[in-house]
Structure 1
Amino acid sequence: MSSLPLVTVICLCYNHERFLAEALDSVLAQTYQNVEVIVVDDSSTDGSVKIIQSYLQQYPHIRFVSTGKNVGNCAAFNMGLQASKGEFIIDFATDDVLLPERIAQQVEAFGKLDKSYGVVYTDAAYITDASEFLYLHSQKYEPAPDGDVFAEVLRRYFICPPTMMVRRQVFEDLGGYDATLAYEDFDFWVRSSRKYKYYYLDKVTTKRRVHEQALSRGLYKPGNKMLASTVVVCRKAAALVQSENERQALAQRLKYETRHAFLTCNFKEAGELIELLKSTTGLPVLYRFISLLNEYKINLGFLRKLYHKVRY
């Protein structure tokens, strides 16, 4: 029996036929010697299952879970988590790629930390559909913090989700992901960072693929369920805030989400965010104006398009 901690990689697949082999090969190529591999297919409609079956024949140690019907990322992950045994867990979408030393480096980092640390996250390389390098996560986002990151999680985006390795106890404390939500990362960061510390390992361990089918691409499209989930998470965060710094951090997040919701004509969610901002810090003059425009459903989406055209 290995003396190394068992690490479970939960490989989540939904219509990843084009990327699946590269993703699974990267898990199997890990230098770390005690890895449990669980592939969860969320009822793919392409050729993904056929590819998975070929890997199961070649690598009998891989465990396979089929959701039976499309249930979404959060519920699919929870099914994999329930089947897992690892002391540490990696949530791995099978359109991404792990670098060979990824697991070994993160387990080593955890070995130097006490149990108040629940998450080790790292830098990442963003790649195209064709696996061509685009940029590093660290080149685009401000320096990543360590320790108590709750306020920073509220304030801004800085964690590249597929780089996280999570102590199993964290998921057990949280009851896994909230399966009522359309996406998992913001809710996980808020709930886990309230109790556990985070550690940033300054290494590139993962290739994150950027493509049109990515879940995050639809966040601010009118009627998208992800924005409604963001409102729910912001409400959870408001109930967890314990200091003035955290309250101001939440207000910064609420202002950001309000602007984007309003300018993408998500008037319902914008109204909910405005009400939450009002109860958090009160409404600054600009947001009183936005509230009025939102009430009458004034479409100013061209301003957001103009901003992105000028900036990008």
Structure 2
Amino acid sequence: MNTTANHFEALPLVTIVALCYNHARFVREALDSILAQTYPNLEVWLVDDASTDESVAILREYAAANPGWKTIFLPENIGNCAAFNRAFRQSHGEFIIDFATDDVLLPTRVAEQVAAFQRLDASYGVVYSDAELIDEDSRPVRYHYRRDAQGQPHPRPASGHVFAEVLRRYFISTPTMLMRRATLAHLDGYDETLAYEDFDFWVRAARDFQFYFLDAVTTRKRLHPASMSRRGYRPHDPFLASTIRVCRKALLLCRTPDERAALAVRLRWELRQAVRWGNFRKGAELYGLLLETQSPQLLDRVLGAYARLRKGQ
């Protein structure tokens, strides 16, 4: 009896959807980190979202060297949400990683997170962890979570029913997530009408599934200071428009006063940033949503009135 083969077959299949858009400088390091995984039962999809650099040639090289890997080369840029869904809907893994090819998986990443899932019941839809943030030359910058003198993350990242927490604050390092396929299927994948995926996924997934924080560094997340959006919160910022759409969804999903209060914290922050950067139209929309939470404060009223006064300018 081949015990190694039997053990391999008993392991859940994990799908890695490797999404690339103009990552030629980083993609070899990313793909090498897939090859370095200690977990053996992987399904790999390479998805290029119409890169204009040398990314496609590199992806083809790796696909040729790894015949089991599958590829999708999109003829036009359709964005991360739609590109991910193309692979997700053809994949078979019990668990899924959305992997940007400018990031790096540490060798035991998949093994550690699958082991965590196997200790949890089916009500858990996501395992996430800590990340090491690196610069464009792969040099360490810091970790995602700040830690106290005992090495514990402070504040402790939430586990369990985290719906109110994901409304209230940003705390999950998106690239570290291992998602249960059943969770993504329940949501019908990512919402392709949005400019980004993580906030919407957290809100919708956390409504019906629990999240688990694995206290380990599993991923190296790339920082790109030079390419950070200069349009953030300014007029015509597509990310803010998507954030507002997600907040509207979240309001419909809220069931308790505490959840509505948590959403008000988020809306209050977004309102202040929108007004600060002159996006008065979106600021007025955010204030309208904040009113629906029944939690406006004095400063909110002042900012809301100012945004409404200026939104036509």
2:97 to 90, 96, 107: 90
Take 1:220 and 1:40, find their aligned partners in 2: how far apart are those partners? 29
- Are 1:107 and 2:114 matched, yes or no? yes
What does residue 28 of structure 1 align with?
A: 35
* Identity across matched positions, percent: 52
What does residue 249 of structure 1 align with?
A: 262
What does residue 61 of structure 1 align with?
A: 68
Take 2:229 and 2:217, find their aligned partners in 1: how far apart are those partners? 21
SS for the counterpart of 1:143 is coil
| Uncovered stretches (5+) of structure 1, i.e. residues with no partner | 299-312
Is the CA contact 1:40–1:67 (under 8 Å) kept in the aligned structure 2? yes
What does residue 10 of structure 2 align with?
A: 3
Cα deviations across residues 155-194 of structure 1 (Å, max 9, x unaligned)?
0000000000000001110000000000000000000000
Is the CA contact 2:284–2:307 (under 8 Å) kept in the aligned structure 1? yes
Is the CA contact 2:264–2:295 (under 8 Å) kept in the aligned structure 1? no
Question: 1:283 offset after TM fit, Å?
Answer: 2.5
Which moves more between the two structures, 138-147 or 248-257?
A: 138-147
Question: 1:218 offset after TM fit, Å?
Answer: 4.8
Q: TM-score, normalised by structure 1?
A: 0.92
What does 1:163-182 align with in structure 2 at a 5 Å threshold? 163-182=176-195
Is the CA contact 1:142–1:158 (under 8 Å) kept in the aligned structure 2? no
What does residue 248 of structure 2 align with?
A: 235
What does residue 117 of structure 1 align with?
A: 124
SS for the counterpart of 2:266 is helix
Take 1:61 and 1:219, find their aligned partners in 2: how far apart are those partners? 40
Take 2:304 and 2:42, find their aligned partners in 1: how far apart are those partners? 51
- Are 1:268 and 2:254 matched, yes or no? no
User: One-letter code of the match for 1:274?
Assistant: Y
Which moves more between the two structures, 90-99 or 215-224?
A: 215-224
Cα deviations across residues 113-161 of structure 1 (Å, max 9, x unaligned)?
0000000000000000000101111118732011000000000000000
| Uncovered stretches (5+) of structure 2, i.e. residues with no partner | 148-153
- Are 1:76 and 2:66 matched, yes or no? no
Cα gap change, 1:249/1:282 in structure 2, threshold over 3 Å: closer, same or farther?
A: closer
User: One-letter code of the match for 2:186?
Assistant: D
Question: 1:266 offset after TM fit, Å?
Answer: 1.3
What does residue 301 of structure 1 align with?
A: none
What does residue 198 of structure 1 align with?
A: 211
Cα gap change, 1:180/1:27 in structure 2, threshold over 3 Å: closer, same or farther?
A: same
What does residue 142 of structure 1 align with?
A: 155
Question: 1:297 offset after TM fit, Å?
Answer: 2.7
What does residue 304 of structure 1 align with?
A: none
Cα gap change, 1:226/1:215 in structure 2, threshold over 3 Å: closer, same or farther?
A: farther
Cα deviations across residues 228-274 of structure 1 (Å, max 9, x unaligned)?
00000000000000111111101111100100111111111111100
Question: 1:295 offset after TM fit, Å?
Answer: 2.4
How many residues matched?
298
Cα gap change, 1:217/1:125 in structure 2, threshold over 3 Å: closer, same or farther?
A: farther
Question: 1:22 offset after TM fit, Å?
Answer: 0.3
Cα gap change, 1:68/1:214 in structure 2, threshold over 3 Å: closer, same or farther?
A: same
